[in-house]
Chains A and B, each alone.
Chain A
Amino acid sequence: MSQIHLLPAIILTPFAGALVLLCVPGKRTRAVRVVALLAATVALGLSLAVAALYDRAAGGMQFVERIPWVASFGIHLDLGVDGLSLPLVLLTAIILFAGVFVTWRLSNRSKEFFIYTLVLVGGVFGVFLSLDLLILFMFIEIAVIPKYVLIAVWGSTRKEYAAMKYTMYLLAGSAISLVAIIAIFAYAHDPVRGMGAWTFDLATLSTIHFDPGFQKLAFFLMLAGFGVLVPLFPLHRWTPDGHSAAPTAISMILAGVIMKLGGYALIRVGIGLFPEGAAFWAPVIAVLAAVNAVYIAFVAMVQKDLKFVVANSSISHMGFVLIGIASLNAASIDGAVAQMFAHGIMAALFFAIVGLVYDKAHTRAIDDFGGLAHQMPRVAAAFLIAGLASLGLPGMFNFVAEFSVFSGAIQAFPVVAVISISAVVVTAIYVLWVFQRMFFGPRNPRWDHLKDARGVEMVPIVVLAAVLIGFGVYPRAIMDVITGGILPLVQRVAALSVGGAL
């Protein structure tokens, strides 16, 4: 199987697409779109192939490749995919594919838009597929400038302020996590406590037993650094501005995928290397995550701008992911990974719909609308699907994910879990309230000129809604894979806590 080199191909496809786009004249927008779509389709095809060929029975890390990069410093391009990363790779590919269709009609500098988008997504694939700590971090950083440019050039409402705020928050977070990475590097090089050699390989690093004091410090740095990406309360302030200012396809990628980088890195690096540190900080994460889930849900309720509602609801939903991570048991982390996937698709669908409405109506103020279901029945139906997924209706994949998170969390932090579950109710209130104010009610003649979604515009809606409902009806298709991926992690944590008790 290693002859096929699927994983390098997945990472290289977007970058290759960007290189090809560099050579396409910017005036030929049709050619530009076709190249971008081609790259997205190939990436999606390859990701589906990996998902299909992944041996579910065997589990664990598969398609492993090891390409020396800087051998003298022990940096290797180690690639591999397991139950933790596979759903997220799929998620990225699906959202990129949908994002190209959302941006199909973009005429302002579309060539550059797709170049930056492809570089951004290539970086994301790299993060999910690398097994080398430094390479993983570098891929996170590659995405910084594309994100800044994409928001600041193609965004809306206070775009430059939002882009700068976003970038500085994320860079500060990266700097903090880089301190942790450098500290790990120095620790691992120590001949007495570590390996006595340069290494960044996550598997090798996880065999070192870091001393508890170091684990607490390093996990805290990781939490603060990657917590900005998630975002963890109170590091979330960039999110509403950034996600609302970004152009539609980029909001989809930011909320759908980039937020997941933080959760992924916390599980893979944080819990993977520092189980004791994770156990030490778990109560703090749980409490902050509950604030995320409940408080931000209330914040979402009072927003006047539709996109701010969706952006805040993303933060609230990522709170569930963090509660899942904090609970540190199989069911909860299973749920956290599933929730990352489910929320990614759901948020992308939401932002796609918001973008569709904004492109046509040129406003996002909820109070301007009303009775929109008369003019845009398909958009209303899509919004309802996303909304029902958001409030965790059974039959949607989000329900499976949230159920799993809370069935795990109730064992670890009963009080926090009960409080957080109330966020689901708050979510139901604001989603349905927004839906009622925008789509129900008497027909508003002001919006009679709006045309319903059709043709290309329907592609992202259909694809994303189908994924949500498909996995909701048959969750085993993905839950089994996730469980296989996180079991080794959870067993390590469990073994350590038993050891600690003795």
Chain B
Amino acid sequence: MDFSSIRVELLAALFSLGLLVFGLLVPKGRKDHTGVVATLGFLALLIVSFVAPGSGTSFSGGRYLNDQLALFFKHVFLAAAFLISLMSLRFTSRLAESRSEFFSLLSFSVVGMMMLGSSNDFLTLYIGLELMTLPLVLLTAWDKANGASTEAGAKYVLLSAVSSAVLLFGLSLLFGAAGSLTYSEVIRALAASSPDPLVVTGGIMVLAGFAFKIAAVPFHMWSPDIYEGAPAPVAAFLAVGSKAAGFAALVRLLLFVLPSASASYPLVVISLSALSMVVGNLIALPQTNLKRLLAWSSISHAGYMLLGLVAASRAGLGALLYYTILYLFANVGIFAAISSFGPAAGTGEIAAFRGMWKRSPFMAASLLVCLLSLAGIPPAAGFLGKFYLLAETARQGRLWLAVVALVMSVVSISYYISVVKALLMEKAEDESPIRVPFPQAAIMAVSVLITIGMGVFPAPFTTWTQSVAAAVIK
């Protein structure tokens, strides 16, 4: 038992519990302090994950890994948690009660995500998944005064219960075939036996469970309603954290475990990817609410990111990781803008952003950069991210899939531009200047800097993500 390999997770779990206690200790009028402490704590954890990630490589007999990939995703989750916690300060300060629990649950969810990224065993995987999802359900319904939020929470709990059931059933089938829960044992057992319908069915059910988490078509129906109903910071966390965690788990499953059972999985992943790109982008076109628009666009981005898993090569995985970073910052930047006004932390109607160039040039400019990144227009990072994914897809002989992605990405530009139009051209009813709150402004500034930085000086990020990919795929 090498406890240094789960140092970050242990610290995060302790931190979650500590936040609960801290919430009880602070006097009633000072509840806001919990949020500040939580934010600083996430920042500290992020720094720890970079400077002292723990030397151990695995825990509990190889059921839990602390390799380069797990570490990469720990950085992503903690960075997301830090930014989301910063974004939530304004939302929670308006709540009458339960402020400290909000941050504690956020932290528990992050622990679950880190488990998902590190698990090398079906049972750990499942526990990580539930540890991530249950707090997210509560957070989605956090805005008690808002019926839409409660409704979103109810939808989320029902649908994720169904998806968990499907996943569990698939896992049980795989367990039945392989006789073990640990990946290495499963791989050995499945590779030895001939392809079995039982195993294929199990594998597809597992895939379906995670396709739900990353919101890939046809398992995407939950996301638009829930993004729209959830408080903006929580929606942002669902968009970036939950999706990245789904991919973290999928990388190991799709690159190592499932291929040993059957060669037909790439076909399933290609269909998921193509469907998500087409459906996500087309349905995003008529949206008038920015949160719903982002939900559909995030479905399409799941499709682009799946291309990296279709390729299943070092370059493909590296491209996926690169895309994960740029997707994180672009989305967080946009959600920060949504959460900086409106009573219920922003309903996200695009109409609210009209004439933003006059009301807050800073917000207009940051939104422009983040939208350009998602649309894949240089100099924002999105162009290169898409290029890496498509180049690798085409290099492996799937030029048609790259063409589908390109066509849909042109379609996507038209709805991103409709937001740009509202920002820069349409006239606002109320032209009074907006003061962007400091935390939101800080998040937007960070997002813009990293988005442009990754687009103009991509070499360090490319080298980093490619080296992580090279460490995973030997």
Contacts and interface: CB of A to CB of B under 8 A. Distances in A.
Contacts of B146: none
Interface string A52-93: 000000000000000011111100000000000000000000
Contacts of A148: 417, 420
Given A72-B466, A73-B462, A182 B402 contact: yes
A456 interface: no
Categorize the interface residue count of chain B: 20 to 34
Given A70-B462, A72-B463, A153-B424, A141 B377 contact: yes
Interface of B: 357, 368, 372, 377-379, 383-384, 387-388, 390-391, 394-395, 397, 399, 402-403, 406-407, 409-410, 413-414, 417, 420-421, 424-425, 458-459, 462-463, 466
Contacts of A171: 410, 413
Contacts of A178: 390, 406
23 contacts: A69-B458, A69-B459, A70-B462, A72-B466, A73-B391, A112-B357, A141-B378, A145-B368, A145-B420, A152-B421, A164-B414, A168-B413, A171-B413, A175-B406, A178-B406, A182-B387, A182-B390, A182-B391, A182-B394, A182-B402, A183-B394, A186-B395, A186-B399
A167 interface: yes
Contacts of A183: 394, 399
A186 B394 contact: yes
Interface string A90-116: 000000000000000000010010000
* A interface secondary structure, majority: helix
B402 A179 contact: yes
Contact of A175 (B394, B399, B409): B409
B402 A73 contact: no
* Main secondary structure on B side of the interface with A: helix
Nearest to A138: B378
A134 B387 contact: yes
Interface of A: 68-73, 109, 112, 134, 138-139, 141-142, 144-145, 148-149, 152-153, 160, 164, 167-168, 171-172, 174-175, 178-179, 182-183, 185-186, 189
A185 B395 contact: yes
Contacts of B462: 70, 72-73
A171 B425 CA distance: 20
Given A148-B417, A167-B417, A141 B459 contact: no
B339 to A, nearest CB: 25
Contact of B425 (A141, A160, A179, A182): A160
A502 to B, nearest CB: 33
Contacts of A139: 378
B410 A179 contact: no
B466 A149 contact: no
Contacts of B409: 175
Given A68-B459, A153-B425, A179 B387 contact: no
Contacts of B399: 179, 182-183, 186
A211 B417 CA distance: 39
A142 B395 contact: no
Given A70-B459, A72-B463, A164 B410 contact: no
